[in-house]
Amino acid sequence: MKFDSSGVAAVKARADIVEIVRRYVDLRSVGGRLVGACPFHQETKGSFNVHPERGYFHCFGCQASGDVIDFYCRINGLEFREGLERLAAEVGVRLDSGRPDPRAGEKKRLRQACLDMHALADAFFRRCLASPGGQAAREYLERRGIAPDVAAKFGLGYSPPGWQTLEDFLKTKGFSPAQAATAGLLTKREDGRTWDRFRDRLIFPIRDVSGTVVAFGGRIMGEGDPKYLNSADSPIYRKGDHLYALCDARPSMAKSRRAILTEGYVDVITLHQFGYGDAVGVLGTALTPEQVKRLLGFCATVDLVFDGDGAGRKAALRSAEMLLATGAACRVTLLPEGEDVDSLLQTRGKEAFEACLGGADEGLRYCFRAVSAMARKEQIAWAEGFLGKVGDANLRAAYAPRVAAALGLSEAELRGALADSVVRRQAAVPPSQRREARTGGLVLSQRESWIVTFAARCPEYVSALEALGTREFLAGTDARTMWDRLAALGDGDPRLVLEDAELAFVLEARRLEELSEDSRRELFDEISDLLRAARRESARKELMESMRRARAVGDTGEEMRLFAELNALLGRGDE
């Protein structure tokens, strides 16, 4: 969604950058600015500066900078659009879309209905826990060592054993079973009938970063399968986007600059009960890029704490790779065999847990230990996969010698081994495609391939992407040539304008699974955001270089003019 620039300006005018920053940073006055320890990297010196009159912040240590919206988005791990909407709601600014969405009203009503149903369900589950029927659930919490005040803090509840108790309750509030199923609160069968999704389970509300309940997790209190059951994805919730207890851990994480990441609702709650207020948990899935982005908006180091069994070791390896690929620092703690976080703390106390944390492996070293038992072929495949995830060239260059040394190779040998693996993959391509590659096949980067594939599958969006400057973003000759032809093609027959290799690429793209309209729109929005970000980054670099040249010749007036342009750019008024 594109917002009117006046709305963005209104948010910046009404949101007090000092008040927002002080939620996370202790600031002291130095002249006309405020100084504190940067929340975006580990430090003890005050390199983080806030300039109230100019409305921007800057860190001389990690070079983080921007306006109040940038700070709010970064500290909360939010995309610009979501951060702007949240901050606007906080300061009472109504945002008008520059491009009306005909379904905006319907989507807003659906989202609000889902939020209302979750608020009602949350209160219902809490009442059920406190009622005579919740006695078994309360006794279970007592056996697990969860104090009543901690249970209340996390809003724990209980879902009665009836098949339609919650459904009947929501009906009294004016919501149909179909609406409740859309919100993820009921399970809908193939015959259209519904029943309570979490019946006879202990309930854990899942909140977004602002503290609003958007989903629930349920845990059985005896034997059964599945032990944990999470809400299905809904208009207000995607489990790969959220972390359990992030809203509770946010203040502690902002101060400690660390997060403890583990699995299981009870494990997270027990950590908080024992004083580890920066603990969060994944929600029944492997760690996702979206969760990593949210997490690193609050901290610089992540302590991964997993069970010591095979599944825990694999999860730790995947999670460490993902964090390291972003440049984040991480440590890996594997608990003793047969123990989890909850059992260790409840039976052996905080000292035993601290001893485990003290023996943690640095993230990359843990990865090397994990792959050391692999066959050489698997090790090379791991190195290729890991280094391929690292998007920053400088970071990749820093990792390469450590990876090579861990595998007992020189850097030249590692590069050769990785090249050999590429050759082996190419050899697996069918002969007809190999001939095509030798006679002028396409050379596209990963991002170029993503954009051109989307254009081939969804030609109705090509003109809109063209207006956003897609051609300038595509650096490769093949990518630009193909883009020009797709832009000229429109909905026409691709055989009329495309060369053989281009035609094969387009036909292969169109043979992929059909995309829904919502999926098409989401992909378009993602590519649009990428193009805008690239355009802003290019403009920022040009302005910074021009400022450097002006400063070098002592032209203070020109430097200040360029600085004002830079501030305007960082304000993102073009969004």
Angle at which helix 446-457 crosses helix 477-489, to 10 degrees, equals 10
CA dihedral sign, ordered 514, 520, 522, 524: positive
Contact between 47 and 65 (Cβ < 8 Å): no
CA dihedral sign, ordered 151, 153, 154, 157: positive
The amino acid at residue 483 is W
Mapped onto helix, strand or coil, the DSSP state of residue 230 is strand
pLDDT value for 434: 42
What is the average pLDDT value for the chain, to the nearest integer? 83
Q: Is the pLDDT of residue 148 over 80?
A: yes
Quick one: average pLDDT of 536-541? 77
What confidence tier does 438 reach under pLDDT thresholds 50, 70, 90?
A: very low
Cα 62 to Cα 49: distance, rounded to the nearest angstrom:
12
506 vs 34, more confident: 34
248 vs 463, more confident: 248
Nearest Cα neighbor of 295 from 335, 342, 332, 262 is 262
Q: Is the pLDDT of residue 237 over 60?
A: yes
359 vs 76, more confident: 359
- The β-bridge relationship of strands 186-188 and 157-159 is unpaired
- Global pTM reads 0.66
Q: Is the pLDDT of residue 378 over 50?
A: yes
pLDDT value for 437: 36
Other CB atoms closer than 10 Å to residue 187's CB: what's the count?
17
Q: Is the pLDDT of residue 423 over 60?
A: no
Contact between 313 and 306 (Cβ < 8 Å): yes
Q: Do you find a cis peptide bond into 251, omega within 30 degrees of 0?
A: no
Give the residue carrying structure tokens 């069970």: 307
Distances (CA, A) of 23 to 19, 20, 86, 252, 363: 7, 6, 16, 11, 30
Exposed e or buried b for every residue in 348-357, given b needs 16+ CB within 10 A?
A: eeeeebeebe
Quick one: average pLDDT of 342-356? 95
Quick one: average pLDDT of 404-426? 69
What is the token pair recorded at 86? 């949240």
Contact between 266 and 342 (Cβ < 8 Å): yes
Q: Is the pLDDT of residue 395 over 60?
A: yes
Q: Is the pLDDT of residue 100 over 70?
A: no
Which CATH superfamily is 5-91 part of? Zinc finger, CHC2-typedomain (3.90.580.10)
Which residues, in sequence order, are CB contacts of 533 under 8 Å at separation 6+? Answer: none
pLDDT value for 344: 95
Lowest-confidence pick of 51-55, 304-308, 421-425: 421-425
Q: What angle do CA 133, 136, 141 make, to 5 degrees?
A: 125
DSSP states along 111-123: HHHHHHHHHHHHH
What confidence tier does 25 reach under pLDDT thresholds 50, 70, 90?
A: confident
Exposed e or buried b for every residue in 88-102, given b needs 16+ CB within 10 A?
A: beebebebeeeeeee
Contact between 255 and 296 (Cβ < 8 Å): no
Quick one: average pLDDT of 526-550? 78
Cα 66 to Cα 321: distance, rounded to the nearest angstrom:
29
Per-residue pLDDT tens digits for 107-144 = 888 989 999 999 999 999 999 999 999 999 999 999 99
What confidence tier does 98 reach under pLDDT thresholds 50, 70, 90?
A: low
What confidence tier does 436 reach under pLDDT thresholds 50, 70, 90?
A: very low
Per-residue pLDDT tens digits for 311-329 = 899 999 999 999 999 888 9
Which CATH superfamily is 112-237 part of? DNA primase, catalytic core, N-terminal domain (3.90.980.10)
Quick one: average pLDDT of 53-78? 83
Q: Is the pLDDT of residue 5 over 90?
A: no
Is domain 249-370 given the CATH code 3.40.1360.10 in the classification? yes
567 vs 199, more confident: 199
Q: Is the pLDDT of residue 1 over 60?
A: no
Fold agreement between 5-91 and 112-237: no
Lowest-confidence pick of 71-80, 92-101, 211-220: 92-101
Domain boundaries, the chain: 5-91, 112-237, 249-370, 374-427, 446-514, 518-570
DSSP states along 366-385: HHHHHHTTS-HHHHHHHHHH
Contact between 407 and 379 (Cβ < 8 Å): yes
Phi-psi category of 134—alpha, beta or left, where left has phi over 0 and alpha has psi -120 to 50? Answer: alpha
pLDDT value for 331: 97
Cα 329 to Cα 327: distance, rounded to the nearest angstrom:
7
- The β-bridge relationship of strands 56-59 and 48-51 is antiparallel
Per-residue pLDDT tens digits for 275-300 = 999 999 998 778 988 888 888 877 88
Helix, strand, coil percentages for the chain (3-state, nearest 5)? 55, 15, 30
What confidence tier does 496 reach under pLDDT thresholds 50, 70, 90?
A: low
What confidence tier does 573 reach under pLDDT thresholds 50, 70, 90?
A: very low
The amino acid at residue 444 is L
Q: What angle do CA 254, 257, 258 make, to 5 degrees?
A: 115
Q: Is the pLDDT of residue 457 over 70?
A: yes
Angle at which helix 310-325 crosses helix 289-296, to 10 degrees, equals 60
